[in-house]
């Protein structure tokens, strides 16, 4: 089965990497799908984030990456189907993601949730940007970001 792990990945964190690692063991094919949300102000450009996803996924034979400016469900349906994958850190994520999953299933695509280990519950791209805490980034991503300065 093919699964699409969606997000803005601005930047990809150790939490994202953990989900990718776990998903790569559970699914035949994993696509890390960066969604472009025009309502969100991204710190990194589309090309920079794609380069980070290339780095993030390079160690996994069954993981690829792509991006879309449209809805995830439309992308999934136009690329042969599959399910969406979302990471859940806590109750707030669950409430939000459940609403999104309802929309997705109404449009023909199921969503599966993967819960975060306690260690990752406070890890987010926003936390990385606000704190500058490099320990929340995979080392190769942290190295890449340093080259951008």
Buried b (16+ CB within 10 A) or exposed e, 24-52: beebeebbbbbbeeeeeebebeeebbbbb
Q: What is the DSSP letter of 115?
A: E
Give the predicted TM-score (pTM) of the model.
0.93
How far are the Cα atoms of 46, 74, 138 from residue 123, in angstroms, in the given order? Answer: 21, 28, 12
How far are the Cα atoms of 47, 78, 137 from residue 18, in angstroms, in the given order? Answer: 23, 27, 11
What's the residue count for the chain? Answer: 149
Contact 83, 3 (CB under 8 A): yes
pLDDT score at 6: 97
pLDDT score at 37: 82
All structural domains of the chain, each given as residue ranges with its CATH number in brackets, are 2-148 (3.40.50.620)
Measuring CA to CA, which residue among 121, 122, 142 is closest to residue 12?
Answer: 142
pLDDT score at 40: 81
State the Cα angle at 142 between 139 and 143, rounded to 5°.
90
**Dihedral sign for Cα atoms in the order 21, 61, 42, 135:** positive
Tens digit of each residue's pLDDT, the chain (149 residues): 999 999 999 999 999 999 999 999 999 999 999 999 888 889 999 999 999 999 999 999 999 999 999 999 999 999 999 999 999 998 888 999 999 999 999 999 999 999 998 887 888 888 888 888 889 999 999 999 999 97
Q: Which three-class secondary structure state does DSSP give residue 114? A: strand
Q: Which three-class secondary structure state does DSSP give residue 29? A: strand
Contact 34, 67 (CB under 8 A): yes
């Amino acid at each position: 089965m093919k699964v699409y792990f969606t997000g803005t990945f601005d930047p990809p964190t150790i939490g994202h990497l953990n989900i990718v690692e776990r998903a790569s063991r559970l699914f035949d094919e994993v696509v890390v799908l960066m969604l472009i949300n025009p309502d969100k102000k991204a710190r990194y450009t589309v090309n920079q984030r794609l380069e980070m996803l290339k780095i993030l996924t390079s160690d996994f034979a069954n993981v690829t990456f792509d991006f879309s400016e449209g809805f995830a469900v439309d992308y999934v349906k136009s690329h042969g189907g599959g399910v969406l994958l979302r990471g859940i850190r806590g109750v707030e994520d669950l409430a939000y993601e459940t609403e999104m999953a309802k929309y997705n299933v109404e449009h023909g695509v199921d969503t599966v949730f993967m819960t975060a280990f306690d260690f990752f519950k406070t890890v987010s791209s926003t936390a990385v940007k606000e704190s500058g805490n490099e320990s929340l980034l995979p080392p190769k991503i942290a190295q890449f970001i340093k080259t951008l300065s």
